[in-house]
Chain A
């Protein structure tokens, strides 16, 4: 059984969902406070266990302390907010100016998203990096889906005609690429969820809109088919990504998690309905509501994943042997 002091610090470490460096400093500060209180109580004749229990009680509930710290440290400056909203604004510009039809522009945009997300992740896992990460993960996710569809098509063709619809080298490439792209997406997702499921939801924010766009493109004959219907709906899509930028800005300006959860849920629900209704295909209201519900469920699913990961993780994430307070996500920051 944990000592009350260790148990308190461990519980607090699990509840703090801030940048690793901030988490580390807060835990170190509160651990120092508890140590001093425990020492004082022991000098008054209390046993070590009693002193630790009283010190933990005096600090108040871990939830209260974590919530107070979150409300202070989760509010970002306007400069950080601008950086966090940039990927959505870039996408809005790509659609507003019809630039997505240029393969070169799309490749450059994807490279920029991936590079910025990677830099943000490596330099202290800055919170602004998660909105960039969403777009950089779109490439492996969508290509995984397309590879899966291509392999399914190949299997069906082979089973029915005895021939492959494409060459053997491409088939081998797809077979190798499928688990590789899945591994990339799963590994990044797990790392993000371990930090904070709400940041994973923020990362996933553009996915429902990118998916509906890809499906619509597919319906209209493919990525570069030049369908007039697709180009006509570009302004609606630009508006959606502009709305995602506003959602991200508000997310980083409010310091309360419940408000942030409500904001992502409401924004996704409304924007998905708008997206489905705006697509020039005959979708009914019921279809729009169903797609909207599925998108919200997808966006909130990292909460379930985090709960499962927490159950499986070590019971002592905050207390390594040397007594220094280091969170499990900080020690693996690299």
Chain B
């Protein structure tokens, strides 16, 4: 439950971070998040698309049609300049947040997280 809440609150930042390196389509995003988090974040696939469309509606992402690995049309998402700005702000806030959390949490918890 707690993990679900954490993911819900950070879905958009995770998507912007992931897509800031390269354009991806929805299925690849699911796979990449699963791979990079070693299976910790498991997106309910159907909820990913409304999140992507919400970011696109807010002009933080731009979608364009391309060809996927199966040869079918896929929609690729790229972070816009505005999206990069928002991401930079969120990452700066994230650093402050985690630093503050680490100052309060027991030492063993923060060491485990760093390790």
A interface residues, Cβ below 8 angstroms from B: 25-26, 28-33, 35-37, 39, 58-61, 64-65, 68-69, 71-73, 75
Contacts and interface: CB of A to CB of B under 8 A. Distances in A.
Nearest to A39: B70
A26 B47 CA distance: 13
A33 B75 CA distance: 9
Determine chain A's interface SS by DSSP, over half rule: helix
B45 A26 contact: no
A36 B27 contact: yes
Given A32-B25, A72-B57, A61 B74 contact: no
B49 A30 contact: yes
Given A33-B27, A36-B27, A60-B44, A26 B70 contact: no
A58 B72 CA distance: 20
Interface residues of B, number: 19
Contacts of B44: 60
A48 to B, nearest CB: 14
A29 B26 contact: yes
Contact of A65 (B46, B69, B73): B46
B74 to A, nearest CB: 5
Contacts of B53: 26, 69, 72-73
A32 B73 contact: yes
Nearest to A31: B72
A56 to B, nearest CB: 10
Given A25-B75, A68-B50, A73-B57, 19 more contacts: A28-B73, A29-B74, A29-B75, A31-B72, A32-B27, A32-B74, A33-B74, A36-B69, A36-B70, A58-B45, A59-B46, A60-B46, A60-B47, A65-B49, A68-B46, A68-B47, A68-B49, A69-B49, A75-B57
Interface in B10-49: 25-27, 44-47, 49
A65 B68 contact: no
B96 interface: no
A60 B48 CA distance: 10
B77 to A, nearest CB: 10
A223 B27 CA distance: 62
B54 to A, nearest CB: 5
Contacts of A68: 46-47, 49-50
Q: Which of A33, A61, A68 has the most CB of B within 10 A?
A: A33
Contact of B50 (A25, A33, A35, A65): A65
Contacts of A37: 27, 45
Contact of A64 (B25, B26, B47, B57): B47
A59 B48 CA distance: 9
B60 to A, nearest CB: 13
Contacts of B27: 32-33, 36-37
A37 B29 CA distance: 13
Nearest to A59: B46
Contacts of B45: 33, 37, 58-60
B87 to A, nearest CB: 20
B73 A71 contact: no
